[in-house]
Amino acid sequence: MKIVAVAACTTGIAHTYMAMSAIQQEAKKRGHDVKVETQGAIGIENELSLQDVKEADVVLLAVSVAIEGRERFEEKEEEGKVYNVDPSVVIKSTGKVFDKLELMSQHQKDKVEFLCNECCWFGCKDRKTCYESVSRKNLGNPAPEFHCASPDGGNGYRFSKAMENPGFISVDDIQNIYMPMGFSNFKIEGRGLGSALILEFLLYYMTKPEYQLHVREEIYLDNMLDLF
């Protein structure tokens, strides 16, 4: 599990570092990847990037004061993946905190949906505005024109580019990581990207490798691509 955390304490920088150390040690003991940002009188250290937050499975905020950059975690909060706890609790009961991070009921897991083939740039700060614009247009509602400013944004969607994203979820990931953990909802984006791309998505995610070429040939040779 990938964890990102922020430690910030009203009682002083010493407690902030103690919380950071406790988180790092417990994560290492349990085999989790972790990055901890600290905020205090000397500023921000080991700052979490947008990509760090995007790639994280869970966010642990061990804070007792208002922190800078709280907006970075808005999407994770909407997904229910942010856990708030007082730094003193982290220091005294680190194991129990991590038990809660690892514990998710099946009912909760059934509500989680993973987007597998997202192509967006991980450093994008306009993701919410972009999604709102696209969603409104798909519904036939008026929406301001959105111009993507990300690197290579002008090249459009490329499945090959999506596969290079740190957040890309492959078939192997689904079968060997997420399903054994109890997750079962996976989403493929791109229904408006054209029939050829949709076919590639369906071949990759829903067709066994040994049959992909045969299915592709049958669809193209029988002029069935328009069905998509």
Instruction: For strands 114-115 and 43-45, give the pairing.
Output: unpaired
| pLDDT tens column, 20-71 | 999 999 999 888 899 999 998 889 999 999 999 999 988 999 998 899 999 9
d(CA 124, CA 127): 6
Please say if the pLDDT value at position 228 is more than 60. no
| Cα–Cα separations (whole angstroms), residue 154 to 5, 22, 120, 147, 166 | 34, 45, 12, 9, 21
Burial status of residue 226 (CB atoms within 10 A of its CB: 0-12, 13-18, 19 or more) = exposed
User: Which residue in 9, 116, 119, 120 is the catalytic one?
Assistant: 9
Give 177-186 pLDDT, tens digit per residue: 888 778 899 9
- 2-103 is a CATH 3.40.50.2300 domain: yes
Domain boundaries, the chain: 2-103, 193-228
Tell if the pTM clears 0.85, that is, is over it: no
pLDDT in tens, 97-121: 888 777 666 777 787 888 888 877 7
pLDDT band at 151 (very low <50, low <70, confident <90, very high): confident
Provide the angle, in degrees to the nearest 10, between the axes of the packed helices 13-30 and 94-102: 50
CA–CA separation, 118 and 157 (whole Å): 9
Strand partners, 2: 33
> Annotated catalytic, 119?
no
Minimum mean pLDDT range among 12-26, 62-76, 118-132, 134-148: 118-132
3-state secondary structure 131-177: HHHHHHHHCCCCCCCCCCCCCCHHHCCCHHHHHHCCCCCCHHHHHHH
> How many other CB atoms are there within 10 angstroms of residue 103's CB atom?
8
Asked if 89 contacts 65 with a C-beta cutoff of 8 angstroms, the reply is: no
What is the 8-class DSSP label of residue 178?
I
